[in-house]
């Protein structure tokens, strides 16, 4: 009798154990919808896709768009990297992962960027959105407008951090497209996504994807994401042997299984990608400025274009002058006299008839931001007025002449406008992007004349980008670059620092 009664007891225990397992198994272990996408970043060729256009919860992959817009805002003078951001109670109340910011606290924008990129801090992401557009709603509208401009056809953003919210969805394809744009559109910031640790002002933070970055050869970014609804997501990029692959996974069951799947997809990408591929950079969308707050409920709103504080009046590019048959003589002159001679030459150029040549931005190559070590003597491509003869003074520099046959104002060239005395200094500053090489050079000269005490010894560079010409001062120490930016920003001139890329 007792033996017969044991059977129901056993089945009862089994049922109880099964029920207990259902309770204690974390919701994250339940399979979230899976999607994957692999792309050759050089050409944009699709190498693998599975459920690639299924709208799913992106989680913190959202922060890639948040940071993309922040980089755009800094580049166009809306805000500076060292501007102080006041933390709202809304930002401070965001759930983890977070930096631990307090309502009313002030913190530099650069630290919020690091916290969002490296730690995936939700409070930092919300603070960034509010700093750029004034409110989360306006920032989300700008995110959606930017997503559309980037070709992200199946994405809708509702917040800056990626925590689960009804209607906040994207796809594996769209997030891969965004990762590719981050790499090509803002290469000067891309190193943020590969930092194992970073100084976020209030504390040191650690990368949420440091295991894959440390274990997979060539991995250098980009962004992780996790919520219960999304599972474990990741957009990753790696470079090997001249190939660059970007892969996105949605719905991983754990960090370990997600990383293993991403590594598998990256391996597939490197195996499938051709060795020699023509570089086909994605087109960077035009800058459209801030969103008018009155139009946010409609979702997109009117656009207000912002002019850089350092911009000069609009003027078309001057007609290129004929190159002399013989190289111009080497001049030995005082630095101040040379600056005056150059400005005099440019004033003459302004009076000449102007035309706008056709542009081919699709084939334009970007120049390196930081000169290679040892490049102390650089050719100066300057138009010096031969009628101006500066006096010879003890403190002098030498300007090397341009080679015969090199056209002036060649848009494919990196224009260097001063001999570097930087030695081992690899920091720099940028003072804006301009529609023509001529304008960028003129702004550099004007700023150099007004800030000779701060910028003396720096290297003036004009870098061709897909959307214009960057005006940079390079070959500076970090302290000098910070001082220069503070002084220029105090004069309402756009300025942000360029960190060493190595």
Distances in whole angstroms, Cα of residue 185 to Cα of each of 90, 151, 283, 371, 466: 31, 14, 8, 20, 9
Does residue 217 have an active-site annotation? Answer: no
SS3 480: helix
Active site residue 63: yes
Judge contact between 175 and 221, C-beta under 8 A: no
| Half-sphere CA count of 415, side-chain side, radius 13 A | 28
Active-site residue identified among 88, 97, 98, 120: 120
Half-sphere exposure of 439 toward its Cβ, with a 13 Å CA cutoff?
21
Query: Helix crossing, 136-150 with 172-185: angle to 10°?
Result: 90
Of residues 63, 98, 284, 461, which has the active-site annotation? 63
Neighbours of 450 (CB within 10 A): 14
d(Cα 69, Cα 85) in Å, to the nearest integer?
Answer: 16
Hey, is 356 helix, strand or coil? coil
Q: Is-contact 251 33, C-beta < 8 A?
A: yes
DSSP-derived 3-state class of residue 331? strand
Residue 430 CA from chain centroid, whole number: 14
Alpha helices in 291-379 (DSSP H): 335-350
120 has catalytic annotation:
yes
Given 60, 237, 308, 458, which residue is catalytic? 60
Name the β-bridge partners of 106: 86
Q: Is the dihedral of CA 469, 412, 421, 336 positive or negative?
A: negative
Q: Angle at which helices 136-150 and 122-133 pack, to 10 degrees?
A: 90
> What is the token pair recorded at 491?
């004069």
Catalytic residues: 60, 63, 120
């Amino acid at each position: 009798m007792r033996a017969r009664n044991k059977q129901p007891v056993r089945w009862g225990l089994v049922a109880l154990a099964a029920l207990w397992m259902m309770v204690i198994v974390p919701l994250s272990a339940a399979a979230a919808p899976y999607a994957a996408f692999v792309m050759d970043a050089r050409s944009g060729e699709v190498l693998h896709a599975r459920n690639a256009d299924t709208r799913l919860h992106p989680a913190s992959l959202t922060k890639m768009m948040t940071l993309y817009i922040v980089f755009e805002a800094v580049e166009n003078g809306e805000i500076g990297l060292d501007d102080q951001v006041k933390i709202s109670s809304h930002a401070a109340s965001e759930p983890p992962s977070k930096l631990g910011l307090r309502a009313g606290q002030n913190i530099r924008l650069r630290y919020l960027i690091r916290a969002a990129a490296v730690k995936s801090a939700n409070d930092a992401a919300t603070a960034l959105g509010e700093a750029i557009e004034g409110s989360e709603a306006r920032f989300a509208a700008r995110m959606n407008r930017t997503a559309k401009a980037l070709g992200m056809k199946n994405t809708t953003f509702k917040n800056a951090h990626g925590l689960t919210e009804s209607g906040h969805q994207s796809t594996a394809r769209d997030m891969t497209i965004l990762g590719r744009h981050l790499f090509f559109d803002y290469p000067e910031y891309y190193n943020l996504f590969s930092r194992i640790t970073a100084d976020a002002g209030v504390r040191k933070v650690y990368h949420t994807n440091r295991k894959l970055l440390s274990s997979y050869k060539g991995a250098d970014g980009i962004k992780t994401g996790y919520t219960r609804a999304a599972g474990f997501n990741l957009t990753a990029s790696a470079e090997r042997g001249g190939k660059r692959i970007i892969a996105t996974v949605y719905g991983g069951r754990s960090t370990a299984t997600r990383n293993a799947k991403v590594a598998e997809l990256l391996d597939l990408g490197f195996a499938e990608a051709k060795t020699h591929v023509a570089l086909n950079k994605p087109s960077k969308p035009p800058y459209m400025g801030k969103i008018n707050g009155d139009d946010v409920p409609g979702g997109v709103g009117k656009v207000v274009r912002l002019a850089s504080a350092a911009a000069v009046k609009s003027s078309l590019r001057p007609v290129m002058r004929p190159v002399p048959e013989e190289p111009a003589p080497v001049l030995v002159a005082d630095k101040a006299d040379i600056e005056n001679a150059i400005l005099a030459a440019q004033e003459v150029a302004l009076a000449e008839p102007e035309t706008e040549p056709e542009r081919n931005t699709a084939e334009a190559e970007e120049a390196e931001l930081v000169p290679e070590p040892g490049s102390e003597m650089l050719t100066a491509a300057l138009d010096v007025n031969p009628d101006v003869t500066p006096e010879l003074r003890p403190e002098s520099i030498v300007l090397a002449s341009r080679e015969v046959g090199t056209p002036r104002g060649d848009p494919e060239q990196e224009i260097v406008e001063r001999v570097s005395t930087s030695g081992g200094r690899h920091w720099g500053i940028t003072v804006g992007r301009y529609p023509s090489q001529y304008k960028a050079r003129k702004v550099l000269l004007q700023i150099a004349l007004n800030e000779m005490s701060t910028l003396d010894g720096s290297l003036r560079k004009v870098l061709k980008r897909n959307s214009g010409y960057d005006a940079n001062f390079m070959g500076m120490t970090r302290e000098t670059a910070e001082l220069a930016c503070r002084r220029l920003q105090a004069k309402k001139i756009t300025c942000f620092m360029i960190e060493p890329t190595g």
